[in-house]
Amino acid sequence: MEGDAISRREALKKMGQIGIAALGAGLVPAALTSGEAWGAPASKVCVATGGNMAGRLGKLLKGCGGIERFVRKGSKVYLKPNIGWAREPQDAADTNPDLVELLIRLCYKAGAKEVRIYENTCDNYVYCFQKSGIKDAAERAGAKLYAADSKQYYTSIKVPQGKALKNVDIVKYLQEADVFINVPIAKNHSAARYTLGMKNMMGVIFDRGYWHKSGLDQCIADFMTVIKPQLTIVDATRILMTGGPKGPGQVKELNTLVAGTDFVAVDAYASTFFGSKGVDVPYIRLAGDMGLGTADLSKIKVEKV
Amino acid sequence: MQHIHEVVIQMRNLRRAFQLIFFLLFIYAFLLTTYPLKSVLPHNLFFLLSPLSAAISVISAHRWIAAFFPAAALVIFTILLGRFFCSWICPFGTMLDLVHRLFFSGAKNREVTFISRFTKYYILVFVLVTSLFAVSPGYLMEPVTIAFRTMTLAFFPSIFIIWKSLGAIPLPGGFPLAPSSMVLFAGGPLFLAVFLGIAFLESVTRRFWCRHLCPMGALLGVCSRFTVLHKKVSDACVECGICRNVCRTGAIYPGNRDFLPSECVYCYDCKALCPKKAISFGLSKPASIEPPVGRWLVMKDYRMTVGNAEVPVLSRRLLLVSLGGGVLWGLVGEADYGSRMKYSRLIRPPGALPESDFTSLCLRCGECMKVCVTNGLQPTLMEAGFSGMWTPRLVPLRGYCEENCNLCSQVCPSGAIRPIEVKEKKRIAIGKARIDSGKCIAWYEGLKCLVCDEHCSYRAIYWKEIRGTNRPYVDAEKCVGCGICENKCPTGPDPAIVVYATGDVMKDIPQL
């Protein structure tokens, strides 16, 4: 009996060692596995500022582990910029066309089989595609651009965890694509306060009016329970400070890009460009509460590259 | 005497080639009358060529409209060379020929007696006289207009569906057939019925419309009176009657060697099919073997005996009747209350002239409705009164007026929608939006909406937070009535924000 007894100190030491070992065992595999582990306990968001677009994007993607982490050889990529409005690049209402073009090219360089862009525009699509410069950008870089303006592009899915949204019509290609990359532009928004990554998802559904009638913020959060982009890149090259989402309004040049795999954390961080604290934006707080990502800025690791 | 048409190329085949080319050109121009509206020739070329459209528009406007120079040129050519337009160029004529060949080729080419050739002249006088007043019903009777309007309002919605189901192959330049997700027009079956009614007359006799009803044919017939191209029938003629049977407008009447020059459309079928090669067209005056039936006889009684036949002639009495009838119709039209009522939901496109000038000049051709990128321009029935029937109005629920677009003002052939730059267009108020706070889900239910504000290109919606919800207001100074708010309002089908027309539509012409 006496030989087997452990002193209190020894017991505490042993528990400490096991504890550290367990912690280490938990952390090490987490560090080794790519991407998914970022969600817990601290989310990571990469930010690149300054320089030209190509340089900025390069550093940003490197910080995220490289485009190859998301786009494998033979991948079908659904790229989702914001092309909702018939505005020109300097009006900061749509995603910067240079960013879109660069991304398409990088996807192909990483071995993508095809890159497609589907957008359910708000204004008439011929003017949106033309004025934003994204029609030409997609043509030059070899991506197919579609206006998802009629039911034929959509399929209906259920939202089992949805509180306000129970089912929704989504662009069919979402189910065919291997990779879904969200490339919104950061803007002020009259109804939703700010439109960043999660709000940009309203361009892949058919009936936006329903969300407005059923509780906009809750629907935005509900949707993210079923559709999760692997990577979100927020275009903050120029941001729209007032009069959003269509403008015209005050444009601020930030020459910044924000990226991450946690779409809630990316949105929370990007909202700080407007002086927000993330959680004071209703849909960001709701998404955080539903466990879809980290909305608390204090828990988000910001890596400036 | 040298006959200029004794050449290797058969004139009939040349005519057929031109007829085909012009028809394909018409279809091509029709299909390309959409965003981005870029081509070498003007899209409304066929209207600018039409002397009847020119006459109606010029008389209605009380001034010459420069765009119609091609029509003036055509008149000169017709004076010299005869009424060739009807078989070489006119798209409606070609459509009727197609209908005849496809459905009524067995019908005998017979002379109709219950209605005379000269009915179309009385219709022409009626149309021209009523143009002096408020509104001419000429739009109902002008062939290029009928052709284009039928194509747009009756056939295009179906063409669009077929195009989409065949994979939506882009037009030259990579653009869609129409930029809206669907093309719909109010009252399509009505316009189809008008076309079918005229087409069905082909079962009675070939080119019934062209012989008896078409005021353009009448106008060109008058011009061709002075033509230098004469038909000559040589002695080789054995009066077999083949030429008379094939003549599509029945210009060989009443006898086999007789000829009505103002009816001839210079299709050269008779010349090609004459087994004795007895027919020729040339500069020489015909020998006096032909009786002077083509002479313009304006007599009190409207019949004349030629040989053994009684043929109708232009009657002075009936001309006066059509003139008087036109005046009466015009006066009654001026008193049409419906067109003066200013219906509050009658929204005209930006650039439209003040209402009374608009309904006078509008040809109801369908060009603007075809080109409208959002499919918002729809034909009226009674919304503009009887005199305003079939003119275009903006229906925001169907399509709003796109901020960066001025295509309708570019295609209007008569200038009822005057050509304006996009910069000017953005400052013309075609209406004003009003919010019904009893319907608005932000006002009435405290929901988070503001879709109207989101979509407004002119920042004409502002909002205030009231009892925890942002509620929208319209800034009437900034609102131009484009209708995008009404179009996107999720409260539909009864939108909470609605555009009302602003009286005599043009608010002011801004200083640029």
A5 with A91, same domain: the answer is: no
Nearest alpha-carbon partner for B140 in B77, B175, B182, B190: B190
A250 with A163, same domain: the answer is: yes
CATH number for the domain that contains residue A179? 3.40.50.11440
Helix ranges (H only) for B313-450 are 316-334, 337-340, 355-361, 367-371, 407-411, 422-425, 441-445
pLDDT of residue B1: 42
A155 with A225, same domain: the answer is: yes
Q: Between B176, B441, B457, which is nearest A246 by CB? A: B457
pLDDT of residue B349: 95
Report yes or no: B181 at the A interface, CB cutoff 8 Å. yes
A142 with A179, same domain: the answer is: yes
Interface of A with B in 55-114 (CB under 8 A): 86
Nearest alpha-carbon partner for B210 in B161, B146, B164, B157: B146
pLDDT reading at A305 higher than 80: yes
Q: Between B405, B459, B490, which is nearest A209 by CB? A: B490
Domains observed in chain B: 11-223 (no CATH), 337-512 (3.30.70.20)
Beta bridge partners of A158: A167
pLDDT of residue B304: 63
CA distance B25 to B43: 10
| Across B111-125, B158-172, B296-310, least confident range | B296-310
Q: B506 pLDDT band (50/70/90 cuts)?
A: very low
How many domains does chain A divide into? 2
A21 with A162, same domain: the answer is: no
pLDDT reading at B454 higher than 90: yes
pLDDT reading at A39 higher than 90: no
pLDDT reading at B306 higher than 70: no
Which range marks the domain in which residue A53 is found?
38-304
Q: Are B343 and B501 in contact (CB under 8 A)?
A: yes
CA distance A150 to B160: 13
CA distance B250 to B267: 12
Calculate helix-pair angle for B215-223, B51-61, nearest 10 degrees.
100
A16 with A76, same domain: the answer is: no
pLDDT reading at B134 higher than 70: yes
Q: Smallest CA–CA separation between B401 and chain A, in Å?
A: 10
A61 with A106, same domain: the answer is: yes
Mean pLDDT, range A16-27, rounded to an integer: 59
pLDDT reading at B214 higher than 60: yes
Average pLDDT, chain B: 88
Q: Smallest CA–CA separation between A150 and chain B, in Å?
A: 6
Mean pLDDT, range B130-134, rounded to an integer: 89
pLDDT reading at B4 higher than 60: no
Question: Are A127 and B450 in contact (CB < 8 Å)?
Answer: no
Beta bridge partners of B394: B377
CA distance B488 to B498: 11
Asked if residue A229 has a cis previous peptide bond (ω within 30° of 0), the answer is no
pLDDT of residue A35: 41
Q: Are strands A144-147 and A114-119 parallel, antiparallel or unpaired?
A: parallel
What are the pLDDT digits (tens) for A230-283? 999 999 999 999 998 999 999 999 999 999 999 999 999 999 999 999 999 999
A148 with A296, same domain: the answer is: yes
Mean pLDDT, range B153-179, rounded to an integer: 91
CA distance A68 to B219: 73
Q: Against a cut of 0.90, is the pTM above it? A: no
Report yes or no: B448 at the A interface, CB cutoff 8 Å. yes
Q: Answer positive or negative: Cα dihedral of B480, B482, B487, B492.
A: positive
Q: Which amino acid is at B503?
A: G
Question: Are A126 and B35 in contact (CB < 8 Å)?
Answer: yes
**What are the φ/ψ torsions at residue B193 (nearest 5 degrees)?**
-60, -40
Q: Answer positive or negative: Cα dihedral of B286, B6, B207, B139.
A: negative
Complex ipTM: 0.85
**What are the φ/ψ torsions at residue A225 (nearest 5 degrees)?**
-75, -20
What are the pLDDT digits (tens) for B326-377? 999 999 888 777 766 678 899 999 999 988 889 989 999 999 999 999 999 9
Q: B299 pLDDT band (50/70/90 cuts)?
A: very low
Q: Who wins on pLDDT, B97 or B258?
A: B97
Q: Between B181, B405, B455, which is nearest A149 by CB? A: B181
Q: Are B202 and B33 in contact (CB under 8 A)?
A: no
A79 with A184, same domain: the answer is: yes
Residue A237 structure tokens? 């090259």
A121 with A3, same domain: the answer is: no
Q: Smallest CA–CA separation between B449 and chain A, in Å?
A: 5
A2 with A83, same domain: the answer is: no
A28 with A44, same domain: the answer is: no
CA distance A276 to A283: 13
pLDDT reading at A24 higher than 70: no
Report yes or no: B176 at the A interface, CB cutoff 8 Å. yes
Distance set, CA B127 to CA A177, B133, B218, B247 (Å) = 62, 10, 11, 28
Q: Who wins on pLDDT, A10 or B297?
A: A10
